[in-house]
Amino acid sequence: SELLLLFNYVIFISIKIAFAVGSTMESHYSFQDQEQNHRYKSCNVLLLVKAIKPFCWSEFNKSMVELGWQKWCEWELVLSHYNILTMCMENGCGIAGCYYPNAIVQKMFLNVHEQYFSSCALEEEPLRDPPPGVLVTLTLLPISVIPILVYVVIWKSSIRD
């Protein structure tokens, strides 16, 4: 229990420090250097599960509830909460001696996406045909230039003779 509290405190402090220096997950790729930065002996899965779920998941859940379900699909509003969740999980894995990402974290992210983002549709408008006037102009303009270019080529070749 004391180890769990310490774990949560360390994760919380490391996230606050990372945000204080302006770091986000998009701006660095530290997870790719894990073998050089850490010497993992064994992953403490129990610590990882017991710490990440109550701390990282509950903090993200609380922030999403405060945001309101109507805004869950607005990525600009969700991004900072999602980054905090990502950093929390990455730091938790480091403290528990586990590689990041791993199957436990992947399952949590799948649960997050299923719970919060499954109803979000891609907001891409289908491509439509241009208005007929624009279509005719864009078609006839290059076609009308071809006879002019042919005339200029013939005229230039007759001048050389």
> So what's the pLDDT on residue 148?
92
How sure is the predictor about 24, in pLDDT bands with cuts at 50, 70 and 90? Answer: very low
Q: Is 132 a residue whose pLDDT tops 70?
A: yes
| pLDDT tens digits, 96-111 | 888 888 888 899 889 8
> So what's the pLDDT on residue 124?
63
> So what's the pLDDT on residue 21?
44
Exposure string (b/e) for 119-157, b if CB count within 10 Å is 16 or more?
eeeeeeeeeeeeeeeeeeeeeeeeeeeeeeeeeeeeeee
> So what's the pLDDT on residue 84?
87
Token pair recorded at residue 43: 């992953």
Question: What structural domains and CATH numbers belong to the chain?
Answer: 2-117 (1.10.150.510)
| pLDDT tens digits, 26-49 | 445 554 555 544 555 678 888 888
How sure is the predictor about 23, in pLDDT bands with cuts at 50, 70 and 90? Answer: very low
